Every structure is written in structure tokens, then in C-alpha cells.
Chain A
Amino acid sequence: MLHSILGAVLLSVGMVAPLDTSDFHLSEVTVTATHRHVNPISSQTSITVESDRLNQQVPTSLAKGLDAIAGVQASSIGSGQSRPAVRGMGFNRLAIMHDGIRHEGQQWGDDHGLEIDRFAVDHIEIVKGASALLYGSDAIGGVLLLSSGAKPQNAFSGKACVFARSNNMLFGASALLNGKKEMPAGGTFYWRANATYQDYADYSVPADSFEYYSYRIPLYKRTLRNTAGREADASLVLGYTTYHWHSCIRIYETWAQSGFFANAHGLEVRLSDIDYDRSRRDIDLPCQEVNHLKVLWHSAFSHDNWGIEVNAAWQHNLRREESEPVSHGYMPTPPDALERQFSKHTASLQTAAKWNVATHHTLRLGLQSELQHNRRSGWGFIIPDFEQYSLGLYAGEEWRVNNRWTLDAGVRYDYAHMHIRSYQDWYVTPVGDTTVYKTRSAETMRDFHSFTWSLGMRYQADGWLVRANIGKAFRTPIAKELGADGINYHIFRYEAGNSALQPEESYQADVSVAWENRFVHVQVDPFVGYFPNYIYLNPTAEYREGLQLYQYNQSRVIRAGGEVMLTVRPWTHLDINLQGEYLFARQLSGDKAGYGLPFSPPWRLMPELKFHWDPIVNRQSSNRKWNGYAAVNVRICGAQYDIVPPEKPTDGWWTFNLSVGQRFELTKCAMNISLQADNILNTKYYDHTSYYRLIDIPEAGWNLSAMLSVEF
């Protein structure tokens, strides 16, 4: 049995089966100190979020459900959506691995969400800190490991849920069916199907108007015009597993459509003929539509002391952004509303092998390759067409010195080739006495080589768990950083790429010290990181084509900070939790030497009291009948005065939140009800990491959300 589990989990992120867990309740989500002998490296600080806990919440997005964890932030990007960040690093500095394959959307965009159905995700693991060794480029700030489609336990089972949120009048439903069948040959065939739909209206904020470049714009009924949206997702998993072999095909489809806040699409406040205030649920221009299809094939074979795994995937991300055709500068009125469209195909192939060389030594080897093909269209230019090929090879060794100590080391080599296509404006611009079709992107070919390494240790005994890791990580510059050259109409600035950029590198040391007994769990996770060439979009004093020039360049950056987590259980019915985080960043060279980094999260403190009706005997909450809880928590966030242009200083804030949940075990099914009230005092506050902070839009006001689910 153990072998078949090993086979399934072997070096796979997709197939998660913790071999040894010592978990501990923390906040809304269970924070688990997982030490698998497989991914991620056991010396790395990681946090596991179980789906039970995740599903107690009714967040608007996957990311929003994670920001109750110290060290994880969810940056609002408008339309009630948000993006995850780990220790302040998001976008292309956070690798998102979905079932072992890197999720590839248009992650460069400030207002692009994550195209993943959160109801299809069973298990989330967050690696805090750089982890380039196993995940390559982008894992410079951390890794989000999402896995869906764990092998079902029963011959046939399912789950259905309905949910609603008051703030943006969201309602949605999700259903999951799965089953397995033992085959005569000895293997097991399994399947899983999932579908989710949600629809939401414009979201409301505790403000009647907002100030925008000293101009007051009234908000009709305290809602942000045109932030409504809808989302439909479906997935199918078919798998076959035997004692030594596991193979499956997974298909995920995500479709989402939402409006862009009408008064904030670009710095120009246009008076449009569109009657935005007609309905809260309609989607007018400007709007976006995203379709993401992912097909994945996974196979793993394991033997007594070795195993091999192959993952192959194809993804297609189609994003359309529409806005009213309006002339600007030398650009005449465009013929249609299609401002930009991106069609990106990504093919990935990964293999990994694990070999127990000797009793206490395990060697792992891996190869990861990826091919990207991106094509744009529409009248607005922001990133050029490109093709990108990358290849990574790694080798790592883990030495279990004794039952307390484990040491690990690894090296990795990466090669990336980027081919950026040229692009000319579709309209002419006068230059001197003539007019020209300006070249926005020049044909560019770049090759990148990166060599990274890591060293780690882990100590576990007598209630202590200490992990320490030091290593080098990297990130290949993306097409926008290399080849952007034009006006970003979203924020009305001129963005110039830099084709001479080198791969961004970082050296990071992080430590995690945890201690627990029956009553107390305390954990401290400090880190320090140094970037010799952080890629930074620098606002300059120059103008280009009438707009302020923002130019990509590289500077030395130091970052430090950490998280503290404390849980006290004075009584078996009660948990007292306290989490805190702090982050510091400083640019040491370049034009902005002495400044921090944009969107730096300020310190946060999250105390919580959680009362369980049943005494907490073990943490398998699903085994308990009639289990319920009530929790009250406060989120306290510090002020952020460490700003860079064009940011504004943000004052500190706190919100008061309540949640209750109850599980009913019936003869043939189980029912879960959860209710959550956020920002009960309807506090008006600004989140420094929010995309809308720059234009003075406060965060959402009070919100009540409810979810009812039935498992059978």
C-alpha cells in the first residue's frame, strides 16, 4: 500500500499524500507543518491549506482565501478579484504550479486574475521564499502549489454547494462528482468531474465619491461602476492506477468575463454615452473576457527504491480586453472595441526521477521544458508577439543523517531563449516633416543562462521543528520587460522595455523555528534576501509622446522580514491565534536608491479567537459529527509610508470579522453551513497593495457571505 502511495506522490505536486504530518490549527485555515519526503524540499518553509478549511470561506477568488495566512497577501486588482503574493512578491515573482505544471496566463498584467477554479482545488501548499531548484524561473518570491483531482476514496461520491456574498451580490454554485472502479487486472480506474458558475454585481465600497487627481467623481449607490462579472469553470479527470503505476488525464476549462471599473480605465475620466448606473449586474465597456484551457497528462512509475514521473501539458490562454474606441494623441478613432487580445499557447514537459541511493540518501533528478507562443491583436499595443523556449535541469540530494537531522543540497541549470517580434503602429505619427508608422517593438533574440543552487537543513525532535535554507534563485525577464514600448492606456503612462535586461537573481536565507506542546504552538519564520539586479519599472522625469516615461531597469535590492505565528489552546474547545508579518525592502542602487519597492505590504497582525463546540481531540475535523465553530478575528494593518512614485502613503487600519460554521452528519450525507461577516464595522480603509490604491478607491465595505454544501 505504501508503495502505491509513494508511486502516486512520487515527486509529484499533483498527487499529494502527506507521509508524515504534524498539523496545527491556525486561523481560518489549518496551517500544517508538512514534511513529505517528496516535494517541496523538506527544509523549505511551507504552509499547507486543506480544502475543508478553504471551503469554509466564501472568498471572491482563490487568492482572497489565502490572505488569512501570515506571509501571504491578496492584492485587489479590481472587479472583486485579487492576485496572490507571498512576502510581497506576486505576478511573475510567484510561481503557480497547478497539478505539477506551471500555470501560464498573462501574469504580467496588473489587473489580470488567476484563471483557476478554486472549487476544483483540493489542496494548497505555499512555499514561502525562493524555491528555484525544483520550480525554476518565477519561483523567486515563492511558490503556490495547487492540486486538484486527488484520487477519490469511494466508488461514487460527490459534493454540491451554493454560495452567496452580500457586497457584490454574488451567487454561485459548484458541483463535484467522482468515483472509482476496481478493475479485474488489479488496477483502479477513477474519474472526477467538476463544474462551477458564479455571477456578481458591481462591488460596493464605503464611499460616496472618490478623489482622482483632485477631481471628485461621485459613486452611484456607493458602487464601483461596471465591476460586475461572471465566471464558469469545468474540469474532468480520468485516471488509472496500479501498484506501481499511476496515470491520468486532466482537463480544466475556465471562462470569466468582467467589467473594468469605468472611471479608472486609464487616467482619463471620460464622460461616456454608456449609462453605467442603469444596472449593477450588466457588463459594459471597458471589459475583459478570459478563456483558459489546460490539458494535462501525468504518469508515474515507482519501484522499491526508485521512481520516475512524467507530466505533459498544453495550455491556451485567450484574453480579450475591450473598450470604447476613442482617438488619443496621434491615434485616430479605432474601428472597433477590441483594444487588446492575447492568445498564448504553452506546451510543457517535465520529468522527475527519484532514487534511494543508500539507506539514508535520496537523489533526485529532473528536467523541465516549456514552449510559449504568444500572439496579440487589437488597436492597443502593450506587449509584443513572442516565442519563448526554456529548459531546466536539476539534481538534488537529501541525506537523512539520523531521525532528527536531514540535510539537502541541489544544483540547477536553466536555459531560456526568447524571440520577440517587431511591431509597428497601425497609425502614423508626425516626425519632423514626414509621418511614420512608429516601431514599438524591434525584432529581438535573447538567450539566458542561469545557474542556481540551494542548501538546506531540517531538525525535528522533542516538539521542535527547525528548518533553514539558503540558496540562489532567478527569473527570466518577460516579454513586457524586454520589449514593451508604448503607452499603457490602462494607467496612462509610457512604458519602455529594456532588451538588455539580464535574468533577475536573488540570494535568500530563510529560517523557520517552531515549537509545540499540547497547549502552545509557536513559530517564527525570518528571512533575508538580496537581489543584485531586481527588475524595476522606474518612473522617470522624462516624457515620451506626451506621457511620463516608465522604464525597466535593474537595481540592487535588499529585502528582509518574517512572520510570527502563535496558537494557545488553554481549553480543548478554544484556540487563541495570533499571526503577524513584517516586510522591509530597500533599493540600494539606481535611480531610486533609498526607496522601497512598489506595492510593499505594511506590517499586519491578525489575532483570532476560535471556539469549537466539540473538544479538539485530533485534527481530522471531518471525522467528527456535528462539529461546529464560531470565530472572531481582527485584522490590524500598519501604515505604509515607505513609498515610491507614484504611490501615496497609506494609513493603517483594522477590521473586525466574525465566522460560524456547522457540520451535520446525516445517515447518507453530510451538510456544511458556514457564515462569514467581514468588516462588520464597515470601516473605510485603503489597502496599500491594491491596484486601486493609486486612484483612492477604498477597499470593500461590510460583507456577509454564506455557503451551504452537501456531501454524499
Chain B
Amino acid sequence: MKKYLFMSLFVVSATAMTVALHSCNEQKDLTPPTISEADFLPADCDIYYLEDTIYVHFVCEDDAELGNYNIEIHNNFDHHTHGTSSVDCDEEQHEHGNVEKAWVYNQDFVIARGLKCDTVIQKIPVPADAAEGDYHFMLRLTDRAGWQTLKAVAIHLHKP
């Protein structure tokens, strides 16, 4: 009887091992997409006037397939910092802008399916009634597998 027990134990272990070995062969995307630093627009500490247009330009890449991206612009009137290269532009006077009238821009964009590399160009008009002050330009980029890369840039809005 004991023999059967050990047989069953063996079968369970063998099944587990087989599954483990079988599944390890699959190809998986294990790296997040990248955003090229070169020619990235807007640049840190760029100044824009109300009713200006913010030109967005960047090159993104992924080893498997790119996903989508999102651009968000939010006020930095409380002077917080972001995790990626977003600097505090020292030459700028920290102006505590009017939070009530702060400009909020938040737009999701789709990258065509099947691309490993893409050059993105967008134009974002600055509204005439936006509050002046420091803002953050946030770029979020995914790949098809769900990895995400972030990039934050500090910009400033001025009255013309």
C-alpha cells in the first residue's frame, strides 16, 4: 500500500516539474519601453505664453511592442517634484498661482498596433484663461505587456 502512496507522490512531483520546465520556454517581454532623451520637447524650464502652442516631440521604443501614451499637464504651484528628471527651475521665481484657475490638461493617445519604434509629434494649445505659474508636463508610456515608463518636465506659463 505504501508503494502506491509514493507512486502518487512521485506523479504529483513529476507533473509539477513538467509544467515548470514546459512553461519556462515561452518568450516574455520583461523590459519597459524607453523614451529617448535626445530631441525631447518640451525641454525643462521652457517658458510658454498663454495662447501659445506647446510642441511635443519624442521618440519611443520597445523591444516587443509599444502600447499607448498619455500627456498630462498639471500645476506645480505647491512645488512638488516628480521621479523623473523634473527639475525645480531655480531661475524662475516660485509663483503661487491661482489654483482655482489652474490649467488641467489630460489626454490619452493611441499608438498604432505592432510598432516597436515611433516618433510622436503633438501640438497642445495653451488656453487663454490658464493661470500663470509653474506646471509639470508628464508623459506616461506603456508597452503592450503593460510595462510603463514615466517622464516629467517642468514648464512655466506666462502672460504675453
Report which A residues bind B (CB closer than 8 A).
212-215, 267-271, 326-330, 332-333, 405, 459, 464, 466, 468, 509-511, 513, 524, 526-528, 538-548, 558, 560-562, 584, 586, 588, 591-595, 643-646, 649
Contacts and interface: CB of A to CB of B under 8 A. Distances in A.
Given A268-B82, A645-B146, A594 B27 contact: yes
Contacts of A329: 72, 74, 104, 106
Nearest to A511: B9
Nearest to B17: A560
A558 B147 contact: no
Nearest to A509: B12
Interface in B117-149: 140, 142-148
Nearest to B111: A541
B140 A586 contact: no
B98 interface: no
A510 B20 CA distance: 17
A546 B70 contact: yes
A332 B74 CA distance: 12
B83 A595 contact: no
B80 A546 contact: no
Contacts of B144: 541
Nearest to B19: A558
B80 A541 contact: no
A333 B99 contact: yes
Contacts of A649: 30
Interface of B: 1-2, 5-6, 8-9, 12-13, 15-17, 19-20, 23, 26-28, 30, 32, 67-70, 72, 74-75, 78-85, 99-100, 102, 104, 106, 108, 140, 142-148, 150
Contacts of A539: 146-148
Contacts of B75: 327
B12 to A, nearest CB: 5
Contacts of A405: 1
B142 A541 contact: yes
A269 B152 CA distance: 12
A214 B84 contact: yes
Given A214-B83, A540-B146, A562-B13, 5 more contacts: A213-B82, A328-B74, A466-B2, A541-B67, A546-B108
B125 to A, nearest CB: 15
A528 B16 contact: yes
Given A215-B82, A329-B106, A466 B147 contact: no
Main secondary structure of the interface of B (DSSP, over half): mixed
| Shortest 9 CB-CB contacts between residues of A and residues of B | A213-B83, A541-B67, A560-B16, A539-B146, A594-B26, A543-B108, A215-B83, A270-B80, A645-B146
6 contacts: A215-B83, A468-B9, A526-B9, A548-B148, A560-B16, A645-B147
B28 A594 contact: yes
A579 to B, nearest CB: 18
A524 B142 CA distance: 43
B27 A270 contact: no
B68 to A, nearest CB: 6
Given A333-B99, A544-B108, A560 B140 contact: no
Contacts of B12: 509-511, 526-528
Contact of A468 (B2, B5, B150): B5
Nearest to B105: A546
Contacts of B142: 540-543, 548
Main secondary structure of the interface of A (DSSP, over half): strand
A586 B16 CA distance: 11
A270 B69 CA distance: 23
A271 B81 contact: yes
Contacts of B1: 405, 459
A121 B100 CA distance: 53
Contacts of B23: 558, 586, 588, 594
B137 to A, nearest CB: 12
B156 to A, nearest CB: 17
A588 B23 CA distance: 9
A466 B16 contact: no
Contact of A268 (B9, B68, B80): B80
Nearest to A588: B23
Contact of B146 (A511, A538, A560): A538
A269 B83 contact: yes
A541 B13 CA distance: 37
A511 B106 contact: no
A403 to B, nearest CB: 14
Nearest to B88: A271
Contacts of A213: 82-84, 150
Given A511-B12, A595-B28, A546 B85 contact: no
A269 B28 contact: no
Q: Give the most central of A459, A464, A643, A645: most B CB within 10 Å.
A: A645
Contacts of B81: 215, 269-271
B67 to A, nearest CB: 3
B8 A560 contact: no
B147 A271 contact: no
Contacts of A268: 80, 82
A214 B106 contact: no
Nearest to A595: B28
A150 B112 CA distance: 65
A212 B70 contact: no
B20 A584 contact: yes
Contacts of B78: 270-271, 326
A649 B30 CA distance: 9
A646 B106 contact: no
A546 B72 contact: yes
B153 to A, nearest CB: 13
A587 to B, nearest CB: 9
Given A541-B146, A645-B146, A546 B106 contact: yes
